[in-house]
Amino acid sequence: MPLNDDQISALAADNMGAMAFLLELNHSRYNADRAIILAALTQMPTVKGPDLYVLWSTLCDRNVDTVVHLVRHCPFEVLAQACARYDQSSRELVAPYLPLSHRSRPNPTTLVRKPITQPNGSSTHRP
């Protein structure tokens, strides 16, 4: 059953990002996933508004399947604590519980640029 306006408003707590997640979750293709996620949220009553947005966006890259995976595999205490952090340390808390494909994302500030080998044998760094 889709969320009604009052439920969306209560969970979003005036956070537009959380509201976007809940509206996405309200699509009929997510019926089973919605039930799993809402059951988990009842176990974590503090995860509302900006914390809910952190769950969807920061922790799960705005992927409903990843949210389902995380609420199924991560202890609720750990997940609630991660959602209350508004930085990348939240992702470190839940990393062991994420699907393998989401466990590490390259940080663009730490990428190493590999030299390009020129036909004459010299090398230059990529811009």
Interval 89-125: pLDDT, tens: 999 999 999 988 766 554 444 344 455 556 666 655 5
What share of the chain in percent tops pLDDT 70? 80
CA 98 from chain centre, in angstroms, equals: 10
pTM: 0.77
- Domain spans of the chain? 5-102
Question: How far is it, in rounded angstroms, from Cα 61 to Cα 84?
Answer: 16
Instruction: Say yes or no to pLDDT of 60 above 80.
Output: yes
What's the pLDDT at 28? Answer: 77
Strands of 10-102, DSSP E = none
Instruction: Select the more confidently predicted residue: 109 or 15.
Output: 15
User: Chain-wide mean pLDDT for the chain?
Assistant: 85
